[in-house]
């Protein structure tokens, strides 16, 4: 059965896109099939409500080109977040780029209009269509940060065949936020009998705790609050075993 070597890069991004582009070659490790960087790695959000439109790019712009180059150099699929130019020049998309052995884009569906933030004032929501990509024989569903709080999106991805859910994030720090993050990641894994890999930006502004969770909700690897790297393996034989033991997807009565 298929296995996938996964690395989760818990690194903070700068508000200068040139700095972040230059760091891609430094922070993307060798020896993995799939490397996941956080949401907004191409350019940090900046202060709450900041206008990021001036730093939005096309998916084949400078950040996308460098991401693809580094992915090819590492012989891996690399995922990272950026702000993408769209129909509204003042409100770009919050986009995940997938480059390397697999190629895809996902525009964040659920914008962070919560906990005192209004992401929709500065960004446009993507089309509410689940996005999947195949990486090394594993079907991967794409989600971004606040999407994690919407279980129906994770279920739609799994119903379309996802065996691993990716959640790049910039999960803002605050009271209960780490507890919510850890609980929701494990819940999405348990209720869908699916692997979940989440790469977050670190403290102090964000919550860190990037982690890989298996289909029974066991945390296989987890970072702390600070910058770091998390490694783990997605094993489709383990996934099949869990789904035989806990066939909750097959037992649904809709």
Question: What distance in Å separates the CA atoms of residue 122 and residue 102, rounded to the nearest whole number?
Answer: 29
Task: Provide the greatest CA pair distance for the chain.
Answer: 51
Question: Which residue spans within the chain are E strands per DSSP?
Answer: 3-10, 34-36, 77-84, 93-99, 104-107, 132-135, 138-142, 164-169, 195-200, 211-213, 219-222, 228-235
Active-site choice (57, 84, 105, 145): 145
Q: Which residues pair with 166 in a beta bridge?
A: 142, 197
Respond yes or no: is residue 179 known to be catalytic: no
> Angle, to 10 degrees, between the axis of helix 62-74 and the axis of helix 17-27?
10
Question: What distance in Å separates the CA atoms of residue 100 and residue 75, rounded to the nearest whole number?
Answer: 7
Query: 254: burial class by Cβ within 10 Å (0-12, 13-18, 19+)?
Result: exposed
Active-site choice (39, 84, 163, 222): 39
Respond yes or no: is residue 145 known to be catalytic: yes
Question: What distance in Å separates the CA atoms of residue 247 and residue 115, rounded to the nearest whole number?
Answer: 36
Active-site choice (57, 84, 105, 108): 108
Respond yes or no: is residue 108 known to be catalytic: yes
Question: What distance in Å separates the CA atoms of residue 245 and residue 152, rounded to the nearest whole number?
Answer: 23
The total number of residues shown for the chain amounts to 254
Asked if residues 11 and 38 have their Cβ atoms less than 8 Å apart, the reply is: yes
* Active-site annotation, residues: 39, 108, 145
């Amino acid at each position: 059965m298929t296995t996938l070597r996964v690395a989760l890069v818990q690194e903070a991004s700068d508000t200068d896109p040139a700095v972040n582009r230059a760091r891609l070659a430094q922070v993307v490790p060798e020896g993995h099939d799939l490397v996941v960087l956080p949401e907004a790695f191409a350019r940090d959000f900046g202060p709450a409500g900041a206008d990021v439109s001036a730093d939005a790019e096309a998916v084949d712009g400078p950040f996308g080109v460098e991401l693809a180059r580094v992915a090819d150099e590492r012989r891996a699929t690399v995922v990272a977040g950026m702000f993408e130019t769209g129909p509204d020049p003042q409100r770009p998309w919050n986009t995940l780029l997938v480059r390397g052995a697999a190629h895809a884009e996902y525009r964040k569906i659920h914008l962070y209009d919560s906990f005192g933030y209004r992401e929709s004032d500065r960004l446009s929501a993507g089309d509410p269509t689940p996005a999947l990509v195949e990486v090394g024989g594993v079907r991967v569903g794409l989600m971004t940060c606040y999407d994690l709080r919407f279980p129906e999106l994770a279920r739609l991805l799994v119903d379309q065949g996802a065996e691993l859910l990716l959640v790049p994030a910039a999960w803002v720090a605050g009271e209960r936020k780490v507890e919510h993050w850890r609980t929701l990641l494990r819940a999405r894994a348990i209720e869908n009998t699916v692997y979940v890999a989440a790469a977050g930006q670190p403290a102090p502004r964000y919550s860190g705790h990037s982690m890989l969770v298996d289909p029974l909700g066991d945390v296989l690897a987890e970072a702390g609050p600070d910058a770091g790297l998390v490694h783990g393996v997605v094993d489709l034989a383990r996934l099949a075993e869990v789904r035989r033991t806990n066939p909750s997807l097959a037992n649904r009565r809709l």
